[in-house]
């Protein structure tokens, strides 16, 4: 079984700070837990994998275009795709990424987590039909159990912290408690990301995009 974790592109609005290319630590911790359980997992940081600019009105979206994300999914052939859903203002990119996954292969199990999904899991799943399972709260052990469900080892009703569909209805399970001992988590899966993208000598301060991309971005901002 193959699991792909995706950090989607991000959109920046007039007055936004410059894009910060930070490590997707949340996905890296989830990946490490899956690796420890001997699952094959990959990370696609679609925000950092390229410096494509997609303009729409006064907004600019950074990251891989949808057709390139589709190419990555076809090449990696995942059975499960977990997508990061950051703050509400970025959810359109997460949903768009999920739509691309289902367009490539409707049989892929799509999972999404993050702050927005955590706050309104039922409403979110009722609105976004391409997401199969919404994860509320910490996702490390939740996604591990979802993988076990995919293999037939667990039932969805027994997995805490998820919202899913059953017989046409949205079911909200009991919330999962926070991890008591964070030291039990393995180190983040640094082996699954290209560290050069984040530690390039050309980065500016904590910004990891190259000089050309930063200059281009500034030139596109309204005066």
Distance CA 116, CA 49 (A): 24
Six token digits for residue 165: 């569909």
CA 206 → CA 18, 171, 198, 213, distances in Å? Answer: 10, 41, 9, 14
Percent of the chain with pLDDT over 70: 86
**Reported confidence tier of residue 206, pLDDT bands at 50, 70, 90:** very low
Per-residue pLDDT tens for 77-102?
999 999 998 888 889 999 999 999 99
**Residue 210 pLDDT exceeds 50:** no
- For residue 31, what are the contacts with CB-CB under 8 A and spacing of at least 6? 5, 41, 42, 43, 188, 189, 192
**Residue 169 contacts residue 156 (beta carbons within 8 Å):** no
Q: Considering the entire predicted model, what is its pTM?
A: 0.88
**Residue 73 contacts residue 105 (beta carbons within 8 Å):** yes
State the pLDDT at residue 82: 98
Distance CA 12, CA 141 (A): 32
**Residue 44 contacts residue 33 (beta carbons within 8 Å):** no
Percent of the chain with pLDDT over 90: 67
**Residue 180 pLDDT exceeds 70:** yes
Six token digits for residue 9: 């592109």
**Reported confidence tier of residue 158, pLDDT bands at 50, 70, 90:** very high
- For residue 163, what are the contacts with CB-CB under 8 A and spacing of at least 6? 121, 122, 124, 125, 133, 134, 136, 170, 171, 172, 173
**Residue 33 contacts residue 146 (beta carbons within 8 Å):** no
Distance CA 205, CA 45 (A): 20
- In degrees and rounded to multiples of 5, residue 135 shows phi and psi of -110, 125
What domains appear along the chain, each with residue ranges and CATH number?
A: 2-175+193-220 (3.40.50.2300)
State the pLDDT at residue 185: 93
**Reported confidence tier of residue 20, pLDDT bands at 50, 70, 90:** low
**Reported confidence tier of residue 46, pLDDT bands at 50, 70, 90:** very high
State the pLDDT at residue 220: 55
Distance CA 95, CA 115 (A): 14
Distance CA 168, CA 184 (A): 38
Per-residue pLDDT tens for 50-86?
656 777 777 788 889 999 999 999 999 999 999 998 8
State the pLDDT at residue 202: 56
Lowest mean per-residue pLDDT among 79-83, 186-190, 202-206: 202-206
């Amino acid at each position: 079984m193959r699991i792909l974790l995706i950090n989607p592109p991000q959109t920046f609005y007039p007055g936004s700070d410059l894009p910060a290319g930070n490590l997707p630590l949340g996905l890296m911790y989830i990946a490490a837990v899956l690796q420890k359980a001997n699952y094959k997992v990959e990370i696609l940081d679609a925000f950092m994998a390229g410096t494509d600019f997609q303009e729409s009105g006064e907004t600019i979206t950074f990251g891989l275009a949808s057709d390139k994300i589709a190419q990555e999914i076809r090449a990696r052939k995942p059975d499960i795709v977990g997508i990061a859903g950051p703050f509400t203002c970025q959810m359109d990119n997460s949903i768009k990424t999920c739509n691309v996954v289902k367009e490539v292969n409707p049989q892929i199990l799509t999972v999404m987590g993050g702050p927005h999904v955590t706050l309104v899991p039922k409403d979110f799943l009722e609105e976004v039909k391409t997401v199969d399972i919404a994860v509320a709260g910490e996702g490390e052990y939740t996604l591990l159990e979802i993988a076990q469900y995919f293999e037939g080892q667990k039932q969805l009703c027994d997995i805490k912290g998820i919202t899913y569909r059953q017989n046409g209805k949205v079911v909200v399970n009991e919330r999962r408690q926070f991890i008591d001992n964070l030291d039990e988590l393995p180190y983040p899966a640094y082996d699954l990301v290209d560290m050069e993208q984040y530690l390039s000598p050309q980065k500016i301060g904590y910004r990891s995009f190259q000089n050309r991309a930063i200059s281009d971005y500034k030139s596109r901002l309204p005066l």
